[in-house]
Amino acid sequence: MSIELTLLIWSAALAFAYVLVQSTAYRLDYGLLHAGSQRDDERPPNKWAGRGNRALRNFLETYGIFIALTVATEIAGRSDGLTQWGAQIWFWARWVYIPAYFIDVPFVRSGVWTVSMIGLIMLFIGVAF
């Protein structure tokens, strides 16, 4: 199995981690009773629940791209050093992005996001050209 396909499979655990962080922050902010309700007339989230929501949303914005590029790499048989490094960079940067979103160090989150995008660009170039 290629590195890209292996990381695609493990990205399911990554997605679960994002959902777990978001849902935990949400429940800590709003409480279990509210989380189990229809959530009508919901107040704005606190700082941590808001960060969990934004981190998950940001992950989902790039996850589909990663899936598409990884599948295209496999189908086209284009796995090489560029696609392998690209997939690894995206995958590990997205793991680092979770805590980076919650710490208050200027530009760390944005820097990690940029690194993950470089990984996607590498994957794209490797499979497209």
Q: What is the pTM of this model?
A: 0.92
Residue 13: predicted pLDDT: 98
Domains and CATH numbers, the chain: 3-128 (1.20.120.550)
Tokens of 86: 């690209």
How confident is the model over 1-45, as pLDDT tens digits?
A: 999 999 999 999 999 999 999 999 999 989 887 778 888 888 999
Residue 44: predicted pLDDT: 93
Residue 26: predicted pLDDT: 92
121: three-class secondary structure by DSSP: helix
For range 77-103, the mean pLDDT: 97
Residue 108: predicted pLDDT: 96
Residue 42: predicted pLDDT: 86
Tokens of 61: 């914005």
Burial 70-101 (b: 16+ CB within 10 A, else e): bebbbeeebbeebbbbbbbbbbbbbbbbbebb
**How far is the CA of 23 from the CAs of 6, 17, 56, 80, in angstroms?**
26, 10, 10, 37
Percent of the chain with pLDDT over 70: 100
